[in-house]
């Protein structure tokens, strides 16, 4: 069973540790918040599809399309570059459970602590547990290995954002929720690496929907980063979902970290 609050047991700094031990303030019951669940569903679906498209397939309903384990196993193969055991093609429940268990076993082999999400819940289409499982995968394969100076994972990603956006007026990234609500931080990240794509000085702090949509559209069209968030949802939510924001921002990190348009120590 998978505990989506327990990611990889490794850290690039300080030796082995459970990454999610740093995240005790994250309440898993918040997944039940309708606004946050909506944001996670959209973001996680887009993130999965950004990888599944490399294998020529997509998902539409995140809790339905992983129930037989086939696309789940395929997703893990794409993002890891490794082969999983051969899936079972039968239609019976036992075949689906066996496939999901193969996926969960693979996740466990990457150091993720498995304690509270079982194959049966995924096969049954449990939305909360499916979102939790996908968050575990995102943490392990998109966020866990981020390392900036002497910080890693979530803290490393936050520091990277702070370093890149520091020169920009009206941007003060302190977290992965309200710091992004006005859209300026997203635009600053893009402008820092691709100033040809964003007219930053034309953006207004009091027009968040326009700012957010501008960043999302530019990222999708020019950076091959799919739209994972909805501007109206972010603006109309008192505190946007942290997991959704982190997932989307991690895509910018991976898009830009290899490009080295800006010296890495800035």
Instruction: Report the share of the chain in percent with pLDDT over 70.
Output: 84
Reported as a single tens digit per residue, the pLDDT across 135-178 is 999 999 999 999 999 999 999 999 999 999 999 999 999 999 99
Q: Which residues contact 27 (CB under 8 A, 6 or more apart)?
A: none
- Using the structure block, give the residue that is written with the tokens 């082999």: 109
Q: What are phi and psi of 112, to 5 degrees?
A: -85, 130
Q: Which two tokens stand for residue 96?
A: 């689906």
Q: What is the DSSP letter of 84?
A: P
Lowest mean pLDDT among 3-7, 57-61, 110-114, 219-223: 3-7
Going from the N-terminus, what domains does the chain have, and what CATH number goes with each?
Answer: 19-143 (1.10.418.10), 147-257 (1.10.418.10)
- Which DSSP helix (H) or strand (E) runs through 100? helix 93-109
Instruction: Report the share of the chain in percent with pLDDT over 90.
Output: 80
Of 175, 173, 240, 204, nearest to 33 (Cα)? 240
Reported as a single tens digit per residue, the pLDDT across 95-118 is 999 999 999 999 999 999 867 889
Which pLDDT value is given to residue 32? 55
Q: Which residues pair with 112 in a beta bridge?
A: 8
């Amino acid at each position: 069973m998978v505990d989506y609050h327990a990611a990889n047991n490794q850290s690039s700094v300080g030796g082995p540790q459970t990454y999610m031990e740093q995240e005790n303030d994250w309440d898993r019951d918040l997944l039940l918040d309708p606004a946050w669940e909506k944001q996670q569903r959209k973001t996680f679906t887009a993130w999965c599809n950004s990888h599944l498209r490399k294998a020529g397939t997509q998902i539409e309903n995140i809790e339905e399309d992983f129930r037989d384990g086939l696309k789940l196993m395929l997703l893990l193969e794409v993002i890891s570059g490794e082969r999983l055991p051969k899936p079972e093609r039968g239609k019976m429940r036992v075949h689906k459970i066996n496939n999901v268990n193969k996926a969960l076993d693979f996740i466990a082999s990457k150091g993720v602590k498995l304690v509270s999400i079982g194959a049966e819940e995924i096969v049954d289409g449990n939305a909360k547990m499916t979102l939790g499982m996908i968050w575990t995968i995102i943490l392990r394969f998109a966020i866990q290995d981020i390392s900036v100076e002497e910080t890693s994972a979530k803290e490393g990603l936050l520091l990277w954002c702070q370093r890149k956006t520091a020169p920009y007026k009206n941007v003060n990234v302190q977290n992965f929720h309200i710091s992004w609500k006005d859209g300026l931080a997203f635009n600053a990240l893009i402008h820092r690496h691709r100033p040809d794509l964003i007219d930053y000085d034309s953006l207004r702090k009091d027009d968040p929907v326009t700012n957010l949509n501008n960043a999302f559209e530019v990222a999708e069209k020019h950076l091959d980063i799919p739209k994972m968030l909805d501007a109206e949802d972010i603006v109309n939510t008192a505190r946007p979902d942290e997991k959704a924001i982190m997932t989307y921002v991690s895509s910018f990190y991976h898009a830009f970290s290899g490009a080295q348009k800006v010296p890495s120590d800035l």
